[in-house]
Structure 1
Amino acid sequence: MNVKRFFAANSREALAMVRKALGPDAVILSNKAVNGGNEILALDGEEMDNLVAQESRSFGNGSQPLAKPAVAANPQKILMGEDALLEGGALSPEALAALASRKNPLHEAEPVFAKPAVTRPMQAGPEAHKQSPARQATSSLPATSVVQSGAATKLSEQAAPEFEKLMSEVRSMRGVIESQLTELVWENTQRRSPTASVLLRRLLSAGFGASLARQIAENMPQNQTQDSALNWAKSVLEKNLNTIDDESELLDKGGVFALIGPTGVGKTTTTAKLAARVVMKHGASKLGLITTDAYRIGGHEQLRIYGKILGVMVHAVKDEVDLKIALEELKGKHTILIDTVGVNQRDEMVTRQIAMLAGAGNHIKRLLCINATSTGETLMDVVNAYRGKGLAGCIMTKLDEAATIGSALDVIVREKLRLYYVANGQRVPEDLHVANRKMLVHHAFKLRKSPAGRHFQFRDEDLPLLMAHAARTTAKELSLG
């Protein structure tokens, strides 16, 4: 086992040396102050994995007889080393080696095997000598070896739970050490690069997730002021936010569009806004309206009112057959808009709704309505539930109600969705706008925080712990150019 010693003026410099020499997966065995500085004993992570793998093979090999384990020179020392390991304290190399090679308590007593009974030889008949080769090979083995092999297998099976418990403790210890190292790195980053720390805090305050904010802050160019760093971060977000260039993709090209999403996200109102834009550009005769909201009391009546104002008849459908019939009747229309029933993203009815739209034809483009007031975790649930075989894009709603929109932008960037429109009110059709990436990113950092929002703001001392947790979550690669 190749244990390496690192010495520096303080623990932070020593840890930096460990990370540089052995990488982020290094296992810290000892960290103590000595005369003139700090000493760390560390082991390469791969060596630790190999050590555990060897132990796994020794436990799983039940085909060989068990040997009596050697008695440690100082059992008390090894026991204390194991306790220190589980408590996250220092551990000597000798104690680690002894712990890794220690067997289950079931192995510590030498197995007692039954002695073969002594019998008088019997006269064998002529057919008794005609044995199959396999039987002859089995009969040629000593009886003691067969019994020992069976006992070894039994003891190995009994030791499996104990070994799994040991492995779980080792994995837990490794996770704690990695988190502590990440915390130290970010504490050092806050001192070395306060600009990166300020940028990180601004991204988090705007609502962006920790993993995305961390990726941006870690790749910030050198020698930036706070303002130039923020401008650079905005440019990165704008580059990764995919929006339509203009309305021609929907209004001019036309097609069949289904607005989907959870209950209360604003699908019906958004459908009415889009319908009004189509009527103003192409006339009422070029628009078809369909609603599948036959479950909610008065659900389709709201769209019927909007349709009556626009001079467009609304077709109500209940299932895939009705939808196919309605689409066939409206096939001459330039644009067809489908308002779907709102369903909780965790309801199995979502799957049936997606299947109904897919079964009616591949030409239906699904637009997911994303609520700007929802948390990132909720929006990820929504996207995963409604994605199906693919989304044409999304529409951000309730922009006027959101205290922050970073969570919504984070999910759109992370999942590489195409943003068509943003809705910021109830007026039809005024409160619907083509998505402008520059305006949205600027708006994310300019939203005024209410007095109650101070309880959800991050302080400098919170960042290392938050980043240690974010280090375990891998964000999708951003384009930083």
Structure 2
Amino acid sequence: MKIRRFQGSNTREVLGQIRQSLGADAVILSNRNLAEGVEIVAAIDFDEEAVAAPAVTWPQALRQEEKPRAESPRLEDERESKGVQPTRAVEPVRQELQALQALVEKRWGRAQAVANSAPSCDPQWLKNLGFSSQLLPQLESATAELGARAGMRQVLEGQIGSLANPLGDGGIFAILGPTGAGKTTSVAKLAAQQVLQHGPESVALFTSDTYRIAGVEQLNIYAKILGVPVEVLRGPEDLLTALQKHHQRRWIFIDTMGLSPRDGRLDEQLQWLDALGNGLQRFLLLPASLAQYSLDQVLQPYTKLSLGAAILSKLDEAPACGAVLEWLAARKLPLAYLSDGQKVPEDIHALDWERLLDSMGLQSSTLAAATDSRYHEA
């Protein structure tokens, strides 16, 4: 008989290890809770003759002359075909093991059914994440076939896409977006990452955010910490002068004003930024919390521009970002970065679909825990 110990964070995980290592015919001998999770002892190739041998010492209770439990015809047939005679001492143990194995397999089947069905195919669950009719049919089909996490990734990755190596070997990058999106902090994060890798002499910061109170001062604080220069832009002439002054710096980041889409100054700023043509990379910063009814109105001025990619911000505050993801999918605007906090530079990350799914509440561990609780209740 082959006996092994298996340990894991929960019962479902350990049962999966047992099925993978020993197969479906394994039997459970014992289980106990550990500080870190669960331990289960399982066996395969149960040998009745070895168990019945005199060398094995059984508890006194098993040596008593008790009436054996009724055996099923299938078990009796198996014994006869193997030439094995049942013993009164072993039979209660064997039947207990078989009953336990049947219970484990039944619960495992329930757990698998729950994991495969919830919450992947529930249209209301998808709507709660912010998705509407545009992507719902694709998401329902993909999640029903592949499960919640894999199906969601397949659709989003196919419909939105990503921008590999967004900052490349250098360039001029303008961070655009509505008010409150976190443009200044995002500029500081991106600049700080380049300073850490290539040194402060490789980076310069520009800002046209002269409208917001303390906007310039906030960027100046970041620049002082990073040891990089700041240039304030009040018009296209300032932009051209600043570019000439810092032409030797490999990465130039421009923090822009966030204004109402009805404010004429926003269109004016976008026009002189757009005049740089392909020499300027335009990243649209989108808060994950933007709702469907306001997306088109708030972002309408930016749709006129040649946008390179998008940055999804405030993921730590709004996991239901389906509306924004649908907006990106409709315009085939790829994602470059995810931002999920205020720390500079830690809380900005090159796009990682697994990280995005985690931010949306699709953690594998969370689903496993939910599955465990649901089949235990059953």
Could you state the TM-score of these two structures normalised by the residue count of structure 2?
0.60
User: Aligned residue for 2:182?
Assistant: 266
Q: Which runs of 4+ in 1 moved over 3 A?
A: 194-199, 214-217, 224-234
| Distance in 2, Cα, partners of 1:316 & 1:225 | 52
Q: What secondary structure is seen at the aligned counterpart in 2 of 1:401?
A: coil
What's the CA shift string for 1:253-301, capped at 9, x where partnerless? Answer: 2100001111111000000001101111111111111111112222101
Q: Do the aligned residues in 2 keep the contact of 1:241 with 1:437 (CA within 8 Å)?
A: no
**Does residue 235 of structure 2 align to residue 336 of structure 1?**
no
Q: Do the aligned residues in 2 keep the contact of 1:199 with 1:229 (CA within 8 Å)?
A: no
Aligned match for 1:240, one of 148, 156, 159 = 159
Q: How does 1:282-297 map to 2 (within 5 A)?
A: 282-297=198-213
What's the CA shift string for 1:173-230, capped at 9, x where partnerless? Answer: xxxxxxxxxxxxxxxxxxxxx999943222212211223213543xx37xx9687477
What's the CA shift string for 1:21-42, capped at 9, x where partnerless? Answer: xxxxxxxxxxxxxxxxxxxxxx
**Does residue 221 of structure 2 align to residue 305 of structure 1?**
yes
Query: What amino acid does structure 2 have at the position aligned with 1:199?
Result: D
| Distance in 1, Cα, partners of 2:118 & 2:176 | 41
Change (3 A) 1:253 1:382: farther
Aligned match for 1:358, one of 240, 260, 274 = 274
What is the aligned length? Answer: 247
User: Aligned residue for 2:88?
Assistant: none
Query: What amino acid does structure 1 have at the position aligned with 2:357?
Result: V
Q: What secondary structure is seen at the aligned counterpart in 2 of 1:367?
A: strand
- Structure 1 runs not aligned, ≥5 long: 1-193, 448-481
What's the CA shift string for 1:136-163, capped at 9, x where partnerless? Answer: xxxxxxxxxxxxxxxxxxxxxxxxxxxx
Comparing both chains, which one has the higher relative contact order based on Cα–Cα distances under 8 Å and sequence gaps of 6 or more? 2
What's the CA shift string for 1:291-312, capped at 9, x where partnerless? Answer: 1111222210100010011111
Query: What amino acid does structure 1 have at the position aligned with 2:260?
Result: N
Q: Aligned-pair distance for 1:233?
A: 4.5
| Distance in 2, Cα, partners of 1:241 & 1:296 | 32
What's the CA shift string for 1:49-80, capped at 9, x where partnerless? Answer: xxxxxxxxxxxxxxxxxxxxxxxxxxxxxxxx
What is the RMSD of the two structures over their aligned residues, measured on CA atoms? 2.5
Q: Do the aligned residues in 2 keep the contact of 1:397 with 1:424 (CA within 8 Å)?
A: yes
| Distance in 2, Cα, partners of 1:230 & 1:335 | 36
| Distance in 2, Cα, partners of 1:197 & 1:279 | 42
User: Aligned residue for 2:65?
Assistant: none
**Does residue 353 of structure 2 align to residue 437 of structure 1?**
yes
Q: Which is further off, 340-349 or 229-238?
A: 229-238
Change (3 A) 1:403 1:196: closer
Q: What secondary structure is seen at the aligned counterpart in 2 of 1:203?
A: helix
| Distance in 2, Cα, partners of 1:418 & 1:425 | 21
Q: Aligned-pair distance for 1:375?
A: 0.4
| Distance in 2, Cα, partners of 1:233 & 1:358 | 35
Q: How does 1:103-252 map to 2 (within 5 A)?
A: 198-217=121-140, 220=141, 228=147, 231-245=150-164, 248-250=165-167, 252=168
Q: What secondary structure is seen at the aligned counterpart in 1 of 2:257?
A: coil
| Distance in 2, Cα, partners of 1:228 & 1:271 | 37
User: Aligned residue for 2:84?
Assistant: none
Change (3 A) 1:362 1:237: closer
Q: What secondary structure is seen at the aligned counterpart in 1 of 2:320?
A: coil
Q: Do the aligned residues in 1 keep the contact of 2:149 with 2:362 (CA within 8 Å)?
A: no
Q: Do the aligned residues in 2 keep the contact of 1:368 with 1:395 (CA within 8 Å)?
A: yes
Query: What amino acid does structure 1 have at the position aligned with 2:228?
Result: V
User: Aligned residue for 1:427?
Assistant: 343
Larger Rg: 1
**Does residue 173 of structure 2 align to residue 257 of structure 1?**
yes
Q: What secondary structure is seen at the aligned counterpart in 1 of 2:122?
A: helix
Q: What secondary structure is seen at the aligned counterpart in 2 of 1:399?
A: coil
Q: Do the aligned residues in 2 keep the contact of 1:354 with 1:388 (CA within 8 Å)?
A: no
Q: Do the aligned residues in 2 keep the contact of 1:424 with 1:432 (CA within 8 Å)?
A: yes
- Structure 2 runs not aligned, ≥5 long: 1-116, 364-378
| Distance in 2, Cα, partners of 1:437 & 1:340 | 28
Change (3 A) 1:303 1:198: same
Sequence identity, in percent? 37
Q: Which is further off, 270-279 or 383-392?
A: 383-392
User: Aligned residue for 2:307?
Assistant: 391
Change (3 A) 1:443 1:227: farther
Q: Do the aligned residues in 1 keep the contact of 2:123 with 2:136 (CA within 8 Å)?
A: yes
Q: Aligned-pair distance for 1:355?
A: 0.5
Q: Aligned-pair distance for 1:446?
A: 2.8
Q: Do the aligned residues in 1 keep the contact of 2:178 with 2:299 (CA within 8 Å)?
A: no
User: Aligned residue for 1:123?
Assistant: none
What's the CA shift string for 1:338-394, capped at 9, x where partnerless? Answer: 001111223232211110102245411111110111102323333332122310111
Q: Do the aligned residues in 1 keep the contact of 2:233 with 2:239 (CA within 8 Å)?
A: yes
